[in-house]
Structures are given as C-alpha cells and as structure tokens.
C-alpha cells in the first residue's frame, strides 16, 4: 500500500502506520475502501506515534475531518493531536489537542468552531473537540464541536 509503513490486523480493530503526515489522508481513503477498514481503523505516523493518532470511523467523521486533523498536526507540531474513538460501541470520536498555549487553544477553538468546519462531521453526529493548554492556574480546556454543530 503506497504511503504505508505497515498495516496491522489482529482480532478486532485494524491499524495502519503512514510514512508521513502527508500520507495519512490518502492512506485513510485507500484503506477505508477495503473490507478490513470498512468500519474504521487507527492511523498513526511512526515518528509522531506519541503525538498523533487518528481513529477514523466513517460513520462519524468525514474526509474533511481527516484533512483537518492532519492540518492541525502540521500547524501545531509540538502538540499532541488525537482523534480518539472507542473500538467497541457507538465509536463516536472526540478530537483532542494537548500541549497548546492558551492563545493557540483559543485560535484553534475559533478555527474548529467556524461554520465551514461543520463538514468534518457526519450529519446528526457532531465531532466534538477538547483543546488543552497549560496556564499559570493549571490546565485549561476549551470544548465545542466542529462548525458549532449541535446534535
């Protein structure tokens, strides 16, 4: 599979490693058309393993959402960027970004809440986000949904 460092399938949820962030979107698109990844899977980039993980569930996240997750990882290289979903049950994901400054978190919240970002979610299932920053008072989190969409 072009752009893949590895594809893993054991019992349950499949996963794939993309060679680079640029390979994530095409890899998700290619693998999601296979029976193994038809219900979704986990995608990582080996060099960013602890800072980037995308659990793609096509029933809840569009390719626009995948593009935005990858774009955020590029724009905030020191952040931990995760689109996580339980591998059992309804699989509704949450987008989390940690290790942001308060200003970065505010800018990213505005960006994620912009009306055009509604395309990241499947209709009826808003994609939620949690953006975490460290302040003098401790950890602060901003939450919302992509495009400001409500359930």
Q: Counting beta carbons within 10 angstroms of the beta carbon of residue 106, is it exposed (0 to 12), middle (13 to 18) or buried (19 or more)?
A: middle
User: What is the pLDDT tens value at each position of the chain, 151 positions in all?
Assistant: 777 888 888 767 899 999 899 999 999 999 999 999 998 899 999 876 678 999 998 989 999 999 999 999 999 999 999 999 876 667 789 999 999 999 999 999 999 999 999 999 998 899 999 999 988 888 999 999 999 998 7
Is the pTM higher than 0.75? The answer reads yes
Phi, psi dihedrals of residue 61, rounded to the nearest 5°: -135, 135
pLDDT score for 101: 95
pLDDT score for 6: 86
């Amino acid at each position: 599979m072009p752009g893949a460092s590895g594809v893993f399938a054991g019992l349950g949820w499949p996963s794939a490693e993309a060679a680079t962030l640029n390979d994530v979107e095409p890899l998700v698109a290619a693998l999601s058309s296979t029976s193994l990844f038809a219900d979704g899977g986990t995608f990582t980039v080996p060099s960013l393993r602890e800072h980037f993980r995308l659990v793609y569930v096509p029933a809840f996240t569009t390719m626009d959402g995948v593009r935005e997750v990858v774009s955020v990882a590029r724009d905030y290289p020191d952040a931990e960027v995760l689109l996580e979903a339980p591998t059992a049950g309804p699989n509704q994901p949450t987008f989390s970004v940690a290790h942001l400054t308060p200003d970065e978190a505010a800018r990213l919240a505005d960006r994620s809440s912009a009306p055009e970002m509604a395309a990241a979610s499947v209709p009826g299932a808003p994609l939620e986000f949690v953006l975490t920053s460290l302040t003098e008072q401790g950890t602060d989190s901003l939450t919302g949904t992509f495009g400001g969409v409500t359930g």
